[in-house]
Structure 1
Amino acid sequence: MTRFRATRQLLVVAAVLVVLGACSSPAPVAEPSAVPAPSATPTPLAIPAGDGVLRVGTLFPTSGTLSFLAAAQTAGVATAVKEINAAGGINGEPVLIVAADSGEAKTTKLETSFAALVTKQVDVVIGPSSSVLAQRSIPLAIDAKVPVISPAATFSTLTDVFDDGYFFRTIPAYEQQGFALAETLTAGETPLRIAYVYVYVADAQGSALHDTFVAALAVHDTELVADEVFASSTTNFDAIISNLKAAAPDIVVVGSTYDSDKATKAAIGKIVAAGYTGSKLWLTSLNTGDYSQSFKNGTLKGVRGVIEGAQPSKTFIAALKASDSKLTSYRYAMEAYDATMLAALAAIVAQDDAGEAIAGSLYDVSKGGVKCLSFVECLEVLTTTNDIDYDGVSGTVNFTPDGDIEPGYWGFYTYDGENKFVFTSGGAFG
């Protein structure tokens, strides 16, 4: 067990025990045994458990409703592997890609595909794209001792899962945008009055962002002037609009998820009609979308939005197109690329391509050492020290003890006259 995972387990168990004091329904959790203090750098196994060939499994939705996300991530992995192999591979052996379809949540394709990947001796899995499927993959990863690195799963609940050190993500968690919003909205010299209107759903995404946003605003000595909740079934927003008018905010932020699409559109329409137009209205990552067919032209012109992830450079887009000339969307490609690079570097530092060794080394290669910005540059650093800090095309990708990345990169968007969002700027927050 590595240093960061032992620490994480102790912290999570402590949190669970606190909750148990107030709620008797969950089963008690056994306290983990003590672990010895580790060295500053990972200690390689005396006899590597891997077979000397790094096999990268991909688990992207090549079928189902999210299939539009697969091509970019597939190209991201392929681009990374091409660069790694051009530099000599891992221990002189080329890295291999083993692809499988994650399917969608309503099927058991994920479980079937994961089992197939394990049979083909993959050492790490990049994917899945869905947060629901990512959660289902965690027990499979633990059982197989194969780490899963998702480039796209953002749900807050994934941080709270006991994954035993086998789940990571190179995309920031959904609630982290609270830091980006708070810092951006309080950056001016004149304090703004900010209201938050959000939907509460069963998976608690809305409340997770709410709590982070409120805490982040407090750091900037700012409080919400209105804090309004609606349900995914809400059709009447009169009370919420009345409360907003009474509070007279300068900015209204709407936090809602894909599961509340109908209510979200209704809420946005009512809020705009109440006079919160242009930059007075901010949308969040799970409702910043194309509304060109939902509202008449100009309705959302100037409205702002925030979405996780950086924008790819022209150079990186060219590299992706060399892997897939038909590629037109690049979402999560950079995160998939970085996930692959981190796995390869973890195998090198651990001197072992086995999944368990990679899982134990991922945290250490992501932060705290000598910075390197490419695979070749990291190889140069590794000639003198094993203590590296890979910063990738998607940002700093520093893993936390929970397998999240922090800070996370968030892009800011502005709606045009056709109610489509256009990238404006971005940065790392959290």
Structure 2
Amino acid sequence: MKRNSTTLRLAAVAAASALVLAACGSDDSGDDNNDESEAPAAAAKGDGTFTVGSLLPATGSLAFLGPPEFAGVDLAVADINAAGGVLGKDAVHVRGDSGDADNGIAPAETDKLLEKKSDVIVGAAASGVSLTVIDKIMSAGAVMFSPANTSTSFDEGDYAEPDNYFRTAPSDILQGAVLANLLLQDGRSNVAIMARQDAYGETLASEVSKNLENAGSAVAATVFYGEKAQSYDSQVSEIAGAGADSLVLIGFEETTTIIPQLVQAGAGPKDLPTYFVDGNTSDYSKDGTTSLPAGMLAGTKGTIPGADSGEEFKKRLATVDPNLKDYSYSAESYDAVIVSALAAIAAENDNGDAIAKEIPGVTKDGTECTTFEECAGLLAEGEDIDYNGISGPIELGETGSPTAASIGIYEYDAQNKISPVDYIAGEI
């Protein structure tokens, strides 16, 4: 399998504006009004202990993402403490379960993390879940730093200005463009889309459709199903009768129910080339968290945000979770913690509001460094730093989202295991 990183070329997909997200907000500190009352208040002093709360899926439809994300946080905290901690003290990690939109446990779990004085909450994985707790976390003066949110909602509307929300995963503007480009490269000209009817599914379906249509390709059908759907019969029938030459399935764990139904309808991956996204590009082999009959997914492709984290990082993850089998968003979780810790050092304060002000700056425009120990050493010497992480360059913009990132393209073998075939770099 090829493991090189190439730069995305989207001339055949859409106008250049499809991959350029204008910066929201301004660096201007005012409008020529120098009244001192307009100056922002200084952040309160923290309690002296850098505390990371993880709001990640131990249960629910994205539970397969929990182990690698928790492992990424655990490894980052271990590396931080091995290098001397933050502001002279060991970092602390407290765990919470984000669950999913169905079980609705995230708000109560968030309260527990805040009660334990979390300065930074890493999570949630699902965009829909994050939207249920983002205001609670930010109003408490803590940082919310998601390793896996991809919805464009976090760069729009009420969240278009700088605040305490950040993410290491790129928005679906990039994943939608990469997936559309992959479909075009594979010669797909009449694509059907079946997606969850939630913030994640609707946004990604829209981005894929937009890029396909801008390139002159047709969308045969776009079919949505409810988050709590008990049956997919009508949606599967519509896909089977759409006359499409390929299918993009945007879902979570319900994929293990939908794919066999598509097979029965003559629209399975062997009949209709199928493409997954990060929410369902999991290990479906007999060794996976959930499985499908061997061979059912052979040749199916999928996209997952993130660069190639490398075998060395996977070996280090095994030191905190020797049973780890999936690595999705582990690097993004690791980097969210490292960036936050470096921001606390730059601020000389573990308070969430103070950390938030320094987070974008430690990811760009300074001396490049790649480990917590190296970067912390530079900060101690008074240097401005640019942390380049395991997940990629990061380069956080004013809205807290990456302005440059990579998307991995994966393919399933005859055992329903995935392997990367390429990494596409792009700017948002």
Question: TM-score range with shorter-chain normalisation?
Answer: 0.7 to 0.9
Larger relative helix fraction: 1
- Deviations 1:334-386 (Å, cap 9, x if unpaired)? 11110000101111222221100111221222223332211122234335555
Is the contact made by 2:190 and 2:217 (CA closer than 8 Å) also made in structure 1? yes
Distance 2:364 2:276 in 1: 32
Q: Quote the offset at 1:78 in angstroms.
A: 1.9
The partner residue of 1:98 within 76, 89, 94 is 94
1:399 aligns with 2:399: no
Cα distance change of structure 1 residues 349 and 215 upon mapping to structure 2, 3 Å threshold: farther
Aligned equivalents of 1:370, 1:94: Cα separation in 2: 25
- Distance of 1:209 and 1:135 partners within structure 2: 16
Unaligned runs of 5+ in 2: 1-22, 226-231
The equivalences for 1:15-414 within 5 A come to 49-64=45-60, 66-107=62-103, 109-160=105-156, 162-163=158-159, 165-185=163-183, 192=187, 194-199=189-194, 201-203=196-198, 205-216=200-211, 222-232=215-225, 233=232, 235=234, 244=243, 252-258=246-252, 261=255, 266-267=261-262, 270-271=266-267, 276-277=272-273, 281-289=274-282, 297-383=294-380, 386-414=383-411
63-72 or 361-370, which deviates more: 63-72
Shift of 1:143: 1.5
> Structure 1: 5+ residue runs without aligned partners?
1-6, 11-32
Higher RCO, Cα 8 Å, sep 6+? 2
CA distance in 2, matches of 1:61, 1:35: 44
Pick which of 260-269 and 101-110 moved more.
Answer: 260-269
Shift of 1:138: 0.6
What is the alpha-carbon distance in structure 2 between the residues aligned to residue 197 and residue 276 of structure 1?
Answer: 10
Give 1:238 deviation, angstroms. 7.0
- TM-score (norm: length of structure 1): 0.75
* C-alpha distance in structure 1 between counterparts of 2:296 and 2:313, whole Å: 34
The share of aligned pairs that are identical, in percent, is 30
Partner SS, residue 95 of structure 2: strand
Relative to structure 1, is the Cα distance of residues 186 and 238 closer, same or farther in structure 2, using a 3 angstrom cutoff? closer
- The total of aligned residue pairs comes to 386
- Which one has a bigger Cα radius of gyration? 1
The C-alpha deviation readout for 1:224-279, integer Å capped at 9, x for no partner, is 1344222435637677666646xxx6xx35143238745565457644589545xx
Verify the 8 A CA contact 1:152 1:171 in the aligned structure 2. Answer: yes
CA distance in structure 1 between the partners assigned to 2:32 and 2:54 by the alignment: 34
Name the residue aligned to 1:415.
412
